[in-house]
Structure formats: structure tokens, C-alpha cells
Amino acid sequence: MENYIPVLLLLGFAIIVASSILVLSWWLGPKKPLAVKLSAYECGVNAEGSPHAPFASKFYLVAVMFLLVDVEAAFFFPWALVYKESLQLGPILFVALVIYVAIFALGLFYIIKKDCLRLR
């Protein structure tokens, strides 16, 4: 755990830098708010409707695909760590990889076949 002390230290420095920039920028700048200045930027016209309008469902689709594929991809990491050492035991982890990749590829094939990538 001792290795993580410098990381916490770095986190402290980063928080100090980020918050001091925020405070300085607020403190040093002039404050002359105008209704027009504070309106949402919409290329010169008045903004219509809610800024949080419903958005395209393709983003939702990407999120679902990410959840599936990234969880699968995360399982490669422990495999990679022990693979080099396991070679002395024969090809057992290679066989495991081939089986796992087959499942992975099946999922990816399904995504492509279902036309999930036509994200226009």
C-alpha cells in the first residue's frame, strides 16, 4: 500500500492546482453580468426549447455495447498477466483463450449482424 502514498500526494497537488485556478479565475475577472451575455450560445438567435431535449438512441446503443464488450475485454487482463508463466504448464491457457475469444467473437458478430454499427 505504501506505493499509493505518492498517488494520494499527486491527487492533493492536482486538487490544489485545479481549485486555485477556478478561484483565481473567478476572483481576478471582472463581473458585469448581462442577460444577453449569460444566455446560452446559439449562433446569435434565441435558444428554442429545452437544452436537455431527448437525444438519439444510438448513444444508448453504444453504451449497451460498451458494457457488454468492455466487461468481456476486462477478463483478458488477468489472462495476460499469467500467460507467460503458464507456458511451462503446456498450452492450457492458450486453449482457454481460444474458447473465450470464440464467445467474444460471437457477441461481436451478433452486434455487427444486428446492424448496431449503422449509427447515422
Partner 1 sequence: MNTVDIAILVAKTLLFYLIVLHVVPIMVWVERRGAALIQDRPGPNRVGPFGLLQPVADFVKFIFKEDPIPTGANRGLFLVAPALILIPASLTLAVLPFGDKVKLFGREILLQVADLDIAILYVLAIGSLGIYGILFGGWASGNKFSLMGALRASSQVISYEIPLGLAAVGAVAVYGTFSLREIALAQDGLWFGWLPRWGIFLQPVGFWLFFIASFAETNRLPFDLPETEAELVAGYHTEYGSMKFGMFMMAEYMNLTTISGVMVTLFFGGWHLPFVADAMLLKWIGSQNLLGLVQVVIFLTKVAIFLCVFVWVRWTVPRFRFDQLMRITWGRLIPLGIVNLLVTAGVMLWLGGWK
Residue 6 interacts with partner 1 (CB under 8 A): yes or no: yes
Among 19, 103, 106, 114, contact with partner 1 (rule: CB under 8 A) = 19
- Minimum distance, C-beta of residue 22 to partner 1, in the bound complex (Å): 6
Positions in 27-46 near partner 1 (CB under 8 A): 28-33, 35, 37-43
- Minimum distance, C-beta of residue 82 to partner 1, in the bound complex (Å): 8
The answer to whether 88 touches 31, Cβ cutoff 8 Å, is no
Residue 64 interacts with partner 1 (CB under 8 A): yes or no: no
- DSSP letters spanning the chain: -GGGHHHHHHHHHHHHHHHHHHHHHHHHS-----TTTTSPPSTTSPP-S-TT----THHHHHHHHHHHHHHHHHTHHHHHHHHHHHGGG-THHHHHHHHHHHHHHHHHHHHHHTTTT---
Residue 89 interacts with partner 1 (CB under 8 A): yes or no: no
Among 59, 89, 113, 115, contact with partner 1 (rule: CB under 8 A) = 59
Among 84, 89, 113, 115, contact with partner 1 (rule: CB under 8 A) = 84
